[in-house]
Amino acid sequence: MNIPDMLNGQAVPNRMASPGLFRHEALPDIDIAITINGRIFLDRMSGYGEQSGRFIIERHFDAMGTAGFDVINFRCADPLAEFAIGGQLIMRPEHPSKVAIEMRASRWLPDPPSRASYSSAARDVFFPLLQAHNRQFGTRYRLRIAKVPSPFCLPRHAAKLFSRFCVTANKSGLHPLDWQRFYDFVRHARTEVPEGTLRLLLMQTGFSAAEAARLSDIYQHLSAFKKQRSPRQFPGNLSDA
């Protein structure tokens, strides 16, 4: 099984590719450009979310011990909701004027989500809250939904490690050796892979949408942890053999 060229220093395609492994649409980048302190904006948006009664709000400031890395979870408050759609507002210290948006759902239709359904979910969750902010504070903030996903290149060495993990992984239940290869990819890949892009790559190599989302979440946590520790301190002395 060959990993496509996009894993060998080539840009991830900005379209649904076909045939073969390229069978899932890439999800768009979604964000909000702001002109105020990010934490103030997140506090306001989480307050609107609570007032709406639609969401359970979880605030994580300086997440993973990283100063300025703030995440607000908007979880669907209706336990009987068929799809339970929610999302995250993410503030990264390297982008203080941009709040990234990631969408979550207990079930997508279609699964994995299309660009249209993912974008629609973002509008449904965050547009009313953003409108409330604009009315109260006289701002003109808006959801910025990229028409074409940003190209992403996975360097050759990272592609090799990713390929080794995906080709040998037991996709119905990861073996301890599979986890070792996954950790090896996280440890040695110097280029951080965007969460949405990693989900897409995992699905294209045969992982289910749910498992791809879970692994992407784990990857994000491990990447944040890696930034806090020197290479000698990072757990596991995994070889590149």
Please, which pLDDT band fits residue 7 given cuts at 50, 70 and 90? very low
Most confident stretch, 79-83, 128-132, 223-227: 128-132
For the chain, give every domain's residue range: 5-22+151-227, 30-145
* Across 225-237, average pLDDT: 55
d(CA 117, CA 174): 30
- What are 140-197's pLDDT values in tens digits? 999 999 876 556 677 888 889 999 999 999 998 999 999 999 999 998 877 778 777 8
At 229 the pLDDT is 58
Residue 177: is it exposed, middle or buried by C-beta count within 10 angstroms (0-12/13-18/19+)? exposed
Band (232; pLDDT cuts 50, 70, 90): very low
Give the span between the Cα atoms of 139 and 127, in whole angstroms: 14
Q: Are 159 and 8 in contact (CB under 8 A)?
A: yes
- What is the residue whose two structure tokens read 């910025």? 144
Any idea which residue has 């045939």 for tokens? 19
The per-residue pLDDT for 192 is 78
Q: What is the torsion angle, in degrees rounded to the nearest 10, for the CA atoms of residue 32, residue 34, residue 40 and residue 42?
A: 0
